[in-house]
A and B are shown apart, each in its own frame.
Chain A
Amino acid sequence: MPVIDVSVSLSNVFNPKLPSCVAKLGHDELILIELQGTLDIECDEDTTRDGQFIGKLNLNDASKPTLTIGHHLLEGKVVTLPKPLGVMHRKESSKRHGYPSDGDGSRSVENTWNPGVSWGIVAVVKKKIVFSKRPMPILNLDGRSRV
């Protein structure tokens, strides 16, 4: 039976709300950040990735969000999406193992289908933060605290 039921539950999926400075993005539970290239995370095993620190996100100035990763500073902008995006999330009724852990996005919806899985639209997002410029190097890391 090749049918996937897609449910819609737009509120209170992620328990805590985002801090108020993010609320200007039009959604209080989920944001989309677009980066050029990919995040390359160094680690040995999957388990060590959990909760790993990536960088600092500064959204105080809605017109100029910044992202600091290591010695690099990215400047971005908030963009309204031409068409709203629905964010679909896979829910597993029973926890299963054996999923490849690198999400390369090549698996399409139909071939990840299996009976224990359902998909739900958890948010409709209308804006995203785009970091499209080249990262700028920062020499003095302490300078960050003065911002």
Chain B
Amino acid sequence: MSELDLRLSTATAQDTGSYRLLELPPELCQIIESASEKTASLFIKGHPTEDAVLCTLEKTYAVRSVVLSNTVLVVTPSRSDPGGTVHIRDQLHEILELVPVVPKLHKLSILLRDMEYDEGDEDRQATMPKYSYEQARSEIQASEAEFARGLKERRILVLEGQLRPIAPAHLSTILELLLNYLISLSLSHQAAPIEELVSLSKQVMSWFGDVKEGLWKMDVDAVIRELGVGILRHHRHNPISENEFLKKWKNVVGDTFECSVKLSLLSGDYLRNLSSIGEEATLTYFPSSALPVDPAARFVELFLTRQRWKHEEIQHFLLDIAVNSKERDKLLLKHARALTDTEGVWYTARVSYNN
């Protein structure tokens, strides 16, 4: 008992290379330790050409291999002589490190190009490329929860198992209709109770609120925001004056919801330009989802658009590339220079891009 015999495994050929060490962040360790059989579902996802990620139900971690100069022996007790012998099952020279990352949902919009759901494209259906929900779920490097949220945020419909992003104009129309229904409280008597239409409006409704027991609790802000974006979308290059925009927006939304209209709903999607002569402010459409995913490239684009940014403005354009506000501030520290004056904190580029 005092000493243990250290021996190689009895089946070295089979055991060698069959072990990996995974460095566990505290929250993941907790999931694993509290997991009874089968409840913990972890997946490692990625094409051979991508960096692998590990997904829990909620989160995504990048998997990075760290090479060790030392050897780590994995040692387990012997079956035949448990009291006196232990076996070396494997000799390892690397551990896998896990770092929380933003789910790689950006790929979706590229994969789903040309598959938009729009009015009157039934005849196009046969020729349209197809990408199914199941396929996407296994290929997109994101956890289950993040994937579901991603579909919702990107307004992607699941029709007959296929993913179909909805055309923005079409979505605006549907929403306007929904609002009208709500206000008038009278049901549509249009002769269009097709299965597809039902499932479509159900999905749209679930994006903008909770559907429970046949009742829809509308997320007012989300609906109004989407309608706002619908109007603003036409002003990517030609600015619209703020007052005019708000008037249009309120008009679309209708009397009941007029008071919920506020510009902050659209943060991350617009730029507000104040001209120096004291004219009224103008707005342009500037969606953060259209900006590069790579942080460096995004900052280049942001600073090319504007030379300096207020903190409260720029933060909305960094939300989707940082895991949390700490990561966001790290990005700001790395890629931008902070200046403080009487108006608050401004950020400028670390290098000048345009001269």
In the complex, are the beta carbons of A4 and B44 less than 8 A apart? yes
In the complex, are the beta carbons of B78 and A101 less than 8 A apart? no
Interface of A is mostly: mixed
Nearest CB in chain A: distance from B242 CB, A: 48
Give Cα distance in the complex from A7 to B79, angstroms. 23
Which residues of chain A in 89-126 are interfacial with respect to chain B, using CB atoms and an 8 Å cutoff? 89-90, 95, 99-105, 107-112, 119, 121, 124
Question: Which residue of the partner chain A has the closest CB to B92?
Answer: A105
Give Cα distance in the complex from A112 to B52, angstroms. 12
In the complex, are the beta carbons of B91 and A38 less than 8 A apart? yes
Question: Which residue of the partner chain B has the closest CB to A18?
Answer: B77
Which residues of chain B in 130-145 are interfacial with respect to chain A, using CB atoms and an 8 Å cutoff? 138-139
Write out the residue numbers on chain A whose beta carbons fall within 8 Å of the beta carbon of B74: 30, 32, 87
In the complex, are the beta carbons of B8 and A19 less than 8 A apart? no
In the complex, are the beta carbons of B3 and A49 less than 8 A apart? no
In the complex, are the beta carbons of B47 and A2 less than 8 A apart? yes
Write out the residue numbers on chain A whose beta carbons fall within 8 Å of the beta carbon of B43: 3-6
In the complex, are the beta carbons of A124 and B2 less than 8 A apart? no
In the complex, are the beta carbons of A54 and B19 less than 8 A apart? no
Which residues of chain B in 31-79 are interfacial with respect to chain A, using CB atoms and an 8 Å cutoff? 32-33, 35, 37-38, 40-48, 52, 54, 63, 65, 67, 69-79
Q: Which of B21-29, B163-171, B282-290, B325-333 forms contacts with chain A?
A: B21-29
Nearest CB in chain A: distance from B304 CB, A: 36
Write out the residue numbers on chain B whose beta carbons fall within 8 Å of the beta carbon of A19: 1, 4, 77, 82-84
Whether B6 is near chain A, meaning CB under 8 Å from some CB there, is yes
Write out the residue numbers on chain B whose beta carbons fall within 8 Å of the beta carbon of A95: 14
Whether B210 is near chain A, meaning CB under 8 Å from some CB there, is no
Nearest CB in chain A: distance from B41 CB, A: 8
Given contacts A21-B2, A54-B88, A57-B3, 5 further A-B pairs with CB under 8 A are A2-B48, A16-B82, A31-B86, A107-B17, A110-B46
Query: Per a CB cutoff under 8 Å, which of A6, A29, A51 touches B76?
Result: A29
Residues on B lying within 8 angstroms of A by beta carbon are 1-14, 16-26, 28-29, 32-33, 35, 37-38, 40-48, 52, 54, 63, 65, 67, 69-79, 82-84, 86-88, 90-96, 138-139
Write out the residue numbers on chain B whose beta carbons fall within 8 Å of the beta carbon of A21: 1-2
In the complex, are the beta carbons of A103 and B48 less than 8 A apart? no
Whether A140 is near chain B, meaning CB under 8 Å from some CB there, is no
In the complex, are the beta carbons of B13 and A54 less than 8 A apart? no
In the complex, are the beta carbons of A32 and B16 less than 8 A apart? no
Query: Per a CB cutoff under 8 Å, which of B1, B8, B20 touches A52?
Result: B8
Question: Given contacts A2-B46, A53-B5, are A18 and B86 in contact (CB under 8 A)?
Answer: yes
Nearest CB in chain A: distance from B103 CB, A: 15
Can you list 21 A-B contacts with CB-CB less than 8 angstroms, sorted by A residue number?
A: A2-B48, A3-B43, A7-B40, A8-B32, A16-B82, A31-B86, A32-B21, A49-B12, A50-B13, A57-B6, A57-B86, A58-B4, A86-B32, A88-B22, A103-B91, A103-B92, A104-B93, A105-B67, A105-B92, A110-B52, A121-B32
